[in-house]
């Protein structure tokens, strides 16, 4: 009974037996949430016995949930060793920012990008308010919403899904940093600036600014990432 990892489970059974979502889906959602908010830390192992005990589900169900999160690249399987919360390498960070530059800049340069303005403005305000009270986790959430608003202007469900998955992956890297403050603070003002450029109907300039913005964010993240050892 002195089982490990009581961060998971919280004692109560997860299944409200609402029977709208399958147990597998509920488990995948629960695990995803705990990965993204850092309760399950990058690199830590997800042992089947511990998690089945903590979540109150069978190994089969858990393993199906694992497959979902492995496909989302939040977990990795090492054959016959187990399933682990993914650790982002520097190469991953570079790759993710390459995709972000491609998609976000193309989305922002298009005339339709102004469609995302209301949501972008709202995200900037939320971020400022959260920063004022020192809630940098919420600043991170607002930043994600800001960039999703940019790509939402493309109007493609697949672009939305891809960006959502990409930004979720990126959170794995954020968690390796000591303070979210240093990461997000420089970009509060620049988000605001992008909004203004779009309000003034200068989408192409905004796109160019965003490219440099993403370059800087990538460098900042890489700089704080590399000193971390396995």
Partner DNA sequence: GCATATTTGTCCGTATGTATA
Partner DNA sequence: CTATACATACGGACAAATATG
15 touching DNA, by CB under 7 A: yes
> With CB under 7 A, what is the number of residues at the site for DNA?
24
Query: How far, in Å, CA of 14 to CA of 51, rounded?
Result: 12
Q: Considering the rule CB under 8 A, would residue 148 count as an interface residue with a copy of itself?
A: no
Site size with a copy of itself, rule: CB under 8 A: 26
Tell which residue, 112, 48, 36, 35, has the closest CA to residue 80.
48
Instruction: Answer yes or no: are the C-beta atoms of 143 and 120 closer than 8 Å.
Output: no
Which class for 191: exposed (0-12), middle (13-18), buried (19 or more C-beta within 10 A)? buried
Alpha carbon of 31 to those of 58, 68, 101, 172, 190: distances in Å? 15, 10, 29, 14, 33
Stretch that binds a copy of itself, among 100-108, 122-130, 139-147, 212-220 (CB under 8 A): 100-108
207-226 residues near a copy of itself, rule: CB under 8 A = none
| 193 lies in the site for a copy of itself, by CB under 8 A | no
- Quick one: 79 or 230, whose CB is closer to a copy of itself? 79
Find the binder of a copy of itself among 85, 107, 108, 152 (CB under 8 A).
107
Site for a copy of itself in 149-168 (CB under 8 A): 154-159, 162, 166
Q: How many CB atoms within 10 Å of residue 16?
A: 10
Which two three-digit tokens encode residue 224?
Answer: 């704080």
Interface ranges with a copy of itself (CB under 8 A): 22, 24, 60, 63-64, 67-68, 71-72, 79, 95-96, 98-99, 102-103, 106-107, 154-159, 162, 166
């Amino acid at each position: 009974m002195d089982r490990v990892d009581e961060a998971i489970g919280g004692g109560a059974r997860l299944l409200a037996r609402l029977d709208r979502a399958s147990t597998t889906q509920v488990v995948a959602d629960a695990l995803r949430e705990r990965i993204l908010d850092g309760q399950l830390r990058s690199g830590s192992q997800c042992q089947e016995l511990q998690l089945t005990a903590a979540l109150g589900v069978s190994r089969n169900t858990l393993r199906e949930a694992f497959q979902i999160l492995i496909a989302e690249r939040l977990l990795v399987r090492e054959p016959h060793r187990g399933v682990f919360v993914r650790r982002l390498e520097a190469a991953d960070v570079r790759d993710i920012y390459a995709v972000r530059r491609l998609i976000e800049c193309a989305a922002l340069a298009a005339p339709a990008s102004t469609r995302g303005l209301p949501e972008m403005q709202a995200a900037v305000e939320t971020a400022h308010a959260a920063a004022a009270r020192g809630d940098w986790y919420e600043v991170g959430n607002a930043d994600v919403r800001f960039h999703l608003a940019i790509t939402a202007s493309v109007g493609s469900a697949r672009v939305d899904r891809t960006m959502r998955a990409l930004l979720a992956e990126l959170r794995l890297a954020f968690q390796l940093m000591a303070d979210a403050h240093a990461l997000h603070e420089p970009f509060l003002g620049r988000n605001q600036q992008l909004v203004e450029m779009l309000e003034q109907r200068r989408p192409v300039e905004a796109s160019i600014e965003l490219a440099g913005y993403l370059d800087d964010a990538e460098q900042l993240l890489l700089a704080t990432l590399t000193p971390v050892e396995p």
